[in-house]
Amino acid sequence: MKLDGIGALVAGGASGLGEATARALVERGARVAIADLNEDRANELASELGDAAVAFRCDVTNEADVEGAVAGAVEALGELRFTVSCAGIGWAERTVSRRGPAQLQPFETVIRVNLIGTFNVLRLAAAAMSQNEPDEGGERGAVVMTASIAAFDGQVGQTAYSASKGGVVGLTLPAARDLARQGIRVVTIAPGTFDTPLLAALPEESRQALGEQIPFPSRLGQPSEYAALACHIGENAMLNGETIRLDGALRMPPK
């Protein structure tokens, strides 16, 4: 798929990995809809990116919100051919601690946002893409989802997060097979430890220590590196049904 001139949607696009992806897509000539729960930040970013970007308030777990963002993207951009789903949250709690069993509600919330929200974006974006005219290769669109290496190397306290991201990994191949007849690809990126707002609150010493755990390069990943891979997935038609670890060969220890 040629990114130049296409319409794209980035869910969770107002910060972190999503913001970097929105910027990278605009740099490559795409027109981008930024969908995010933080409406003010989404509008600020869209204003900064100029005529190539629009913004929508969107809770990925809300069917009407995602329907509205997808429909708005199609109306504003003329079509939707590429979607990157970056919205997500984390939660750390041991299955059983001194306080007793883990709370059920946070587990449900993490699953709802990270897994159900990702599927909500996938299904509605793919439905819109299915109406596109196929390109010369028969492709109507592509969806990039975001998992985590926690899907494979979940640490102590990461049951909710790892389960949610493992669900995204498990979703990838069957979704790609489902959508093959429509000419829509589905690929997931599983990032390692990245320099996102989630880690920005940590002391610099702690951030450096996290980076030093990575074999090479021994530093935190940059959101622009995630964005570069997301864009390449859009451009490479043979990438389909796969989860790609983006982690500098990191394998997370138990804690």
C-alpha distance across the termini of the chain, in Å: 41
The whole-angstrom separation of Cα 34 and Cα 46 is: 7
Could you give the CA distance from residue 125 to residue 127 in angstroms, rounded to a whole number? 5
Q: DSSP letter string over 87-103?
A: --------SEETTEEPP
Cβ neighbour number for residue 205 with a 10 Å cutoff: 8
What is the spatial distance between Cα 242 and Cα 252, in angstroms, rounded to a whole number?
Answer: 21
Of the candidates 161, 165, 247, 248, the residue annotated as catalytic is: 161
Distance CA 86, CA 203 (A): 25
CA distance 9 to 79: 10
The count of other CB atoms within 10 Å of the CB of residue 157 is: 16
The answer to whether residue 161 is catalytic is: yes
Which pair of tokens denotes residue 230? 């997301």
- The residues carrying an active-site annotation are 161
